[in-house]
Amino acid sequence: MTITRIPVRGESPYEVVVGADVLTEVAAAVGCPARALVVCADRVSAAATGLLRHLLAAGIATEQYILPGTEADKAVETLARLWDVLASFEVSRTDCVVAVGGGSTTDLVGFAAATWLRGVRVVHVPTTLLGMVDAAVGGKTGINTAAGKNLVGAFHPPVGVVCDLTFLASLPDPDYTAGLAEVAKAGFIADPEILDLLEADPRAHVRELIERAVRVKAEVVGADLREGGRREILNYGHTLGHAIERLQHYRWRHGDAVAVGMVFAAALGRLGGHLDRPTADRHRTLLRRLGLPTSYDARAWPALHAAMRLDKKSRGGRLRFIVLDGLGTPGVLDDPPTELLESAYAEVSAG
């Protein structure tokens, strides 16, 4: 299988490599004679032994540290333990950290790399669909707190991302399905061809879907790393989605929560006069077809509304939502009235 290289431009350019059996690409990203600390999610630790062999063969000294690889890892206590590991391995600014796992692993390890010695190099090897199309690309890192999801973090672009598609063969179906939400998001905000492929057969087109979704994100973050403008569009569905994750104590998969959030954003856009009904309805139809949730408990609205006010896109207490003005045409709805929010959520809670 050929290798696809997708450039991410901007102040710290790097490549996203997509293909099967491409772990040999990690050594090139790490560089030699650097040392590498490989921080690996437990689920893929056995499969990652091949990566360790490739690094050693390239003359790169390695150590391995295994994490549970769950959303619960994204806590200050786990971050502190990881700092201790970096200290024990004596990681210096000429060394590199390699994160192998899903989005929670790359988020946490990326933040550890961003804060250790005020920033050391990191290579991401995402092993889930969501990690490949979203979490590992773009340089956002962070942990969760009691106040909300990813409220503590840093922008720290990796020096490379290697998406080895062979990891997907062992990915549990619920995790694969959850990852499709972020793929669909890329279709709704920028590349409608993605939606056509999802409606046809997502399993048959998985590589093209990944590459298209990565290209969408690469174009956006290359132009706006620190979310000063256009990068906001990548948060489509995330304002309500993050609030749901918080209420669920992060037991819901990120993609599942974002799917509900996109249905809400579509309803908000339609009721606010931005989006036509067929495109809004397409959200629910497609996401249901993919096996994703599209509704949430009506009784949760007060708690969700309060949680959304801590969203990173809020400005001076004013809620901001990414909505669609049309398929592939995102915009911002600033400080919508409470009545509009309640009407949109009523459509979500109605199922």
Predicted TM-score (pTM) above 0.85:
yes
Mean pLDDT of 158-174: 97
Calculate mean pLDDT across residues 178-186. 98
d(CA 159, CA 30): 8
pLDDT digits (tens, 9 = 90+) for 61-71: 999 999 998 89
In which band, very low, low, confident or very high, does the pLDDT at 32 lie, cut at 50, 70 and 90?
confident
Q: Is it the case that residue 251 has pLDDT exceeding 90?
A: yes
Give the pair of three-digit tokens for residue 88: 């024990």
Confidence band (pLDDT; 50, 70, 90) for 281?
Answer: very high
The pLDDT confidence band at residue 57, using thresholds 50, 70 and 90, is very high
Rounded mean pLDDT of 291-302?
97
Which tokens go with 201? 């057969």
Q: What is the pLDDT of residue 6?
A: 98
Compute the Cα dihedral for 328, 331, 335, 340 and give only its sign. Answer: negative
Structure tokens at 289: 């077809």
Rounded Cα distance between 48 and 168, Å, is 13
pLDDT higher than 90, residue 48: no
* pLDDT score of 317 more than 80: no
Q: What is the mean predicted confidence (pLDDT) over 302-306?
A: 95
Mean pLDDT of 271-281: 97
- CATH architecture for the domain at 4-170: 3-Layer(aba) Sandwich (3.40)
Question: Which amino acids are annotated catalytic?
Answer: 118, 140, 182, 217, 227, 231, 235, 238, 242, 254
pLDDT on residue 227: 83
Q: How many CB atoms within 10 Å of residue 18?
A: 23
pLDDT mean over 99-111: 97
Rounded to 10°, the helix 103-115/76-88 angle is 60
CA angle 155, 161, 163 (to 5 degrees): 135
Q: Residue 69 — φ and ψ, nearest 5°?
A: 80, 35
Q: What is the pLDDT of residue 312?
A: 60
Quote the pLDDT of residue 228. 79
146 confidence band (pLDDT: 50, 70, 90): confident
Average confidence (pLDDT) over 250-254: 94
The percentage of residues in the chain with a pLDDT greater than 70, rounded to a whole number, is 98
Residue 330: CA atoms inside 13 Å, Cβ hemisphere, count? 26
**Mean confidence (pLDDT) of the chain:** 94
Domain ranges, ordered by start, for the chain:
4-170, 173-349
- Give the pLDDT band of residue 93 (cuts 50, 70, 90): very high
The answer, yes or no, to whether residue 315 has pLDDT greater than 70, is no
CATH 1.20.1090.10 describes domain 173-349? yes
- Residues in contact with 51: Cβ distance below 8 Å, sequence separation at least 6, in sequence order: 23, 26, 38, 98, 100, 125
Query: Residue 112: which residues within 8 A CB-CB, separation 6 or more?
Result: 39, 79, 82, 83, 86, 97
